[in-house]
Amino acid sequence: MDTKFNCPRCNQNLSVEASGAGMLVNCPNCKEQIEIPRGAVEGKEAMEGKEETMNPKLMPCPDCGHQVSKQAATCPGCGRRISFANAMFSAIFWGILAAMLVAAIIVLFFSAVYQLSTLH
């Protein structure tokens, strides 16, 4: 995580590794030696992170905590079933689609056979 702060000399926006807090660095803008403040903007970043998890379309996976869409049937992270209704819906949907495809092939096949038998 980065710590963001303004250079006390030239007010330049700076971003450094949080692990560098308390260290002395040279400002890339004014070349003055400045101290990286400890946890200057960490609270703000934590709040931004909280907003992300509150996305109404996403929910954390109960197994691995992966952020997954509520519409998803399974978790892309661990494969856990998220919504039984969604899984059932997709199973029924693909089942009907496959049945219709098979029926269409049978109908086309028999109509072709029928046409051939009537032509000759």
Is the CB of 22 or the CB of 95 nearer to Zn ion?
Answer: 22
Using CB under 5 A as the binding rule, the residues of this chain from 47 to 76 that contact Zn ion are: 61, 63-64, 66, 75
Q: Enumerate residues 6+ apart whose C-beta is below 8 A from 78.
A: 61, 63, 64, 66
Is the CB of 18 or the CB of 67 nearer to Zn ion?
Answer: 67
Asked if residues 41 and 3 have their Cβ atoms less than 8 Å apart, the reply is yes
Asked if residues 3 and 16 have their Cβ atoms less than 8 Å apart, the reply is yes
Q: According to CB under 5 A, which one of 10, 101, 103, 106 is a site residue for Zn ion? A: 10
Q: How far apart are CA 76 and CA 83, in angstroms?
A: 13
Q: According to CB under 5 A, which one of 20, 22, 49, 77 is a site residue for Zn ion? A: 77
Q: According to CB under 5 A, which one of 19, 23, 26, 29 is a site residue for Zn ion? A: 29
- By CB under 5 A, name the binding residues for Zn ion: 7, 9-10, 12, 27, 29-30, 61, 63-64, 66, 75, 77-78, 80
